[in-house]
């Protein structure tokens, strides 16, 4: 068919594949998205948007080197493409290269300061650098820019949950769910809040719903494993202690552990000075047991997560 005879009613194959890829990403299936994007790039190899989407899908499958290459191709094709800078910032953040992450994050923000997603990217970088208040400011700006976007409310909910404010997290997750009742990330986040509140069965309902929609999502897998840990006589105590410690933030958690150690040393010495040698030895063994328990439990918890992940991948119908 000549150019004059082209049937413009037929959909462009690259756009069809791109739409399918976006749908796959929304469903939490980046591997499926990759296949559609490869096909789309076969029709439009110099489309920076397709390379950016492929970089995102590769990033979500943790193929960081390939994601960096694709984001780089997109920026070579269009150096002022803000979304490509944002995805490159995400890749660099995953690689723990904070200087490059900040560079590309700043470029995406300079190119499009009114895009709430660029503010969210800035917040993620700042959170990774333990700049809690600066990250919160970026999240507040993101909400002001896109108050109807459930993703920005979810991000603020995550921030509150990870910094010991479950009530604030509940408020923002609820706001996201009012905008989109089946918003995946907010449902999982709300499941964690319910677990912190001791509402184990309600948290389990959230986890099961999430896994039925995306059985390999790490946050959902982590939630169902945390629920099992919460119920376990062996893991339950560690889970409560860890949740309490994490809620204090990284710096305060370190200070708390140092204070506990100092108190142990002082207590042991005082008992010795009082002639209570048996009590001092008992205290020493208790501290040793605590240290071993808190060292072994996280590794066991991670193995449980991996076991859950393998199990749901093997279940028929997933």
pLDDT for position 247: 53
Tokens 């910032």 belong to 89
Give the confidence band of 303 by pLDDT, cuts at 50, 70, 90.
low
pLDDT surpassing 60 at residue 310: no
pLDDT for position 2: 37
Higher pLDDT, 14 or 16: 16
Please name each of the domains of the chain with its CATH number. Answer: 12-146 (1.25.40.10)
Of 30-34, 52-56, 184-188, 250-254, highest mean pLDDT: 52-56
Q: 254-282, pLDDT tens digit by residue?
A: 665 576 667 767 877 777 667 777 776 77
- pTM for this prediction: 0.66
pLDDT for position 4: 36
Give the confidence band of 135 by pLDDT, cuts at 50, 70, 90.
very high
Higher pLDDT, 43 or 298: 43
The mean pLDDT of 67-96, rounded to a whole number, is 95
pLDDT surpassing 80 at residue 165: yes
pLDDT for position 6: 35
pLDDT for position 240: 57
Let me know: does 18 contact 45? Beta carbons within 8 Å: no
Q: What is the mean pLDDT of the chain?
A: 80
Give the confidence band of 19 by pLDDT, cuts at 50, 70, 90.
confident
Q: Residue 315's Cα: distance from chain center in Å? A: 24
What gap in Å lies between CA 209 and CA 219, rounded to an integer?
Answer: 13
DSSP states along 258-305? HHHHHHHHHHHHHHHHTT-HHHHHHHHHHHHHHHHHHHHHHHHHHHHH
The mean pLDDT of 8-37, rounded to a whole number, is 76
Higher pLDDT, 113 or 234: 113
Question: Looking at 10-14, 33-37, 41-45, 289-293, which range is the least confident one?
Answer: 10-14
pLDDT for position 274: 77
């Amino acid at each position: 068919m000549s150019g004059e005879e082209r049937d413009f009613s037929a959909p462009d194959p690259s756009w069809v594949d791109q739409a399918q890829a976006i749908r796959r990403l929304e469903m939490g299936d980046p591997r499926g998205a990759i296949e559609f994007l490869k096909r789309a790039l076969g029709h439009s190899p110099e489309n920076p948007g397709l390379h950016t989407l492929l970089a995102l899908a590769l990033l979500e499958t943790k193929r960081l080197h390939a994601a960096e290459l694709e984001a780089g191709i997109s920026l070579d094709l269009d150096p002022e493409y803000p979304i490509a800078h944002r995805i490159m910032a995400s890749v660099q953040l995953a690689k723990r290269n904070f200087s490059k992450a900040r560079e590309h994050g700043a470029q995406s923000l300079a190119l499009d300061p009114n895009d709430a997603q660029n503010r969210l990217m800035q917040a993620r970088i700042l959170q990774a650098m333990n700049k809690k208040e600066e990250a919160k400011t970026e999240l507040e700006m993101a909400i002001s820019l896109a108050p109807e976007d459930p993703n920005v409310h979810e991000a603020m909910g995550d921030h509150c949950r990870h910094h010991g404010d479950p009530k604030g997290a509940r408020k923002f997750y609820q706001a996201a769910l009012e905008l989109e009742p089946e918003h995946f990330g907010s449902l999982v986040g709300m499941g964690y809040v319910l677990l912190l509140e001791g509402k184990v069965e309600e948290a389990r309902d959230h986890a099961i719903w999430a896994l039925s929609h995306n059985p390999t999502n790490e946050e959902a897998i982590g939630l169902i494993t945390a629920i099992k840990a919460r119920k376990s006589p062996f893991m339950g105590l560690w889970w409560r202690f860890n949740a309490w410690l994490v809620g204090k933030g990284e710096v305060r958690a370190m200070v708390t552990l140092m204070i506990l150690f100092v108190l142990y040393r002082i207590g042991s010495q005082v008992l010795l000075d009082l002639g209570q040698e048996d009590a001092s030895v008992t205290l020493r063994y208790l501290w040793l047991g605590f240290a071993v328990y808190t060292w072994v439990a996280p590794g066991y918890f991670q193995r449980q997560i991996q076991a859950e992940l393998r199990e749901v991948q093997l279940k028929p119908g997933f």
